[in-house]
Amino acid sequence: MWFFKRLRRRGIIGLIPISGVISMKMVEPYLEIIEQAEKSKKVKGVLLNLSSQGGSVTATEVLYMALKRLAEKKPLYAWTTLAASGGYYAASAAEKIMAPPSAMIGSIGVIYIKPDISGAMKKIGLKVEIGKEGKFKDDGLFFTGSSTGSKKRMAVINREVYEGFVDVVKSERDLDQKGAEKVATGEIFTANQGIELGLVDELCDLREAKEQISKMTNVLPERVVTLKPRRPLLSSLFERTISRGIMSAIGNSIEDISRPGIYYL
């Protein structure tokens, strides 16, 4: 990619900034960046600058796996101002997690969300006809209530996803069972509290985080280069227009309420 072609003489430290709600649309451009950083001989280490409250379970796992592959090849440190739920899941791939004292971290847990407007539909006399093949095919529809059986099935899936999350944190942070249970309550902690809980390694600002990875890689802090996806000019211009912003917001809202989901939020 363009930033790797410019640097042919000396090694660099890649700074990858990731922020916002984690979704596949958000993650996909970064997967190429992470892979390039993993394979490039010029990149001696990577500092993840993370600020995320979490998001999609699947997107979070995909991001984590990409970061984990990178961490197996070269030093990966994370500095964060917000690493909650899926954000912390992703950060846990790093060898070291750093943050300022008041940064929000943790929220280790999962949540299942399913809007139900069946009561409102009944009041206004609106009905939806459903034709299905498969006994449970309509379980997730937002205009039908959830049966007891449906709730039980989703509880099983919820538990499976939760236990997977806890296993990752337990393994990556070298926590015993008691320590893992203590942090896996869905509770938010400050980074200062995270030190005592084993979720954070060091309290510092971004400058010091750069110095830390610089010492590890033996690359000067001045050689920290930001690596992020390039957005096509036309795409950037379109997204700045009011109409595009309104339509995007409407589209996202409709998508969010039309299907259930399990989230790291």
How is the chain split into domains, by residue range? 7-110+152-264
The length of the chain, given as a count of residues: 265
In this prediction, residue 41 carries a pLDDT of 94
pLDDT band at 211 (very low <50, low <70, confident <90, very high): very high
Distances (CA, A) of 158 to 163, 175, 179: 9, 22, 21
What residues contact residue 12 under an 8 Å CB cut-off, 6+ apart? 42, 43, 44, 219, 223, 224, 225
CA distance 77 to 71: 9
> Of 116 and 22, which is predicted with more confidence?
22
* Residues 6 and 37: beta-carbon distance below 8 Å: no
**3-class state of residue 45 by DSSP:** strand
Half-sphere exposure of 9 toward its Cβ, with a 13 Å CA cutoff? 1
Tell me the mean pLDDT in the region 99-122: 87
In this prediction, residue 260 carries a pLDDT of 66
In this prediction, residue 140 carries a pLDDT of 67
For 137-164, the pLDDT digits (tens) are 767 666 676 777 778 888 899 999 999 9
Least confident of 25-34, 86-95, 210-219, 242-251: 242-251
Of residues 39, 137, 182, 215, which has the active-site annotation? Answer: 137
Q: What are residue 83's DSSP bridge partners?
A: 52, 105
Question: Is there a catalytic annotation at residue 137?
Answer: yes
CA distance 52 to 17: 10
In this prediction, residue 81 carries a pLDDT of 98
Q: What is the largest CA-CA distance in the chain?
A: 71
CA distance 61 to 228: 20
Return the CATH number of the domain spanning residue range 7-110+152-264: 3.90.226.10
In this prediction, residue 77 carries a pLDDT of 98
Q: What letter does residue 221 receive in the DSSP assignment?
A: G
Q: What integer best gives the mean pLDDT of the chain?
A: 85
* Residues 165 and 264: beta-carbon distance below 8 Å: yes
Of residues 40, 52, 85, 107, which has the active-site annotation? Answer: 85
CA distance 10 to 167: 39
> Of 115 and 210, which is predicted with more confidence?
210
Tell me the mean pLDDT in the region 41-64: 96
pTM: 0.84
CA distance 137 to 250: 27
In the chain, beta strands by DSSP E: 12-19, 43-52, 55-56, 76-84, 96-99, 104-106, 111-113, 188-190, 202-203, 224-226, 261-264
CA distance 109 to 125: 38
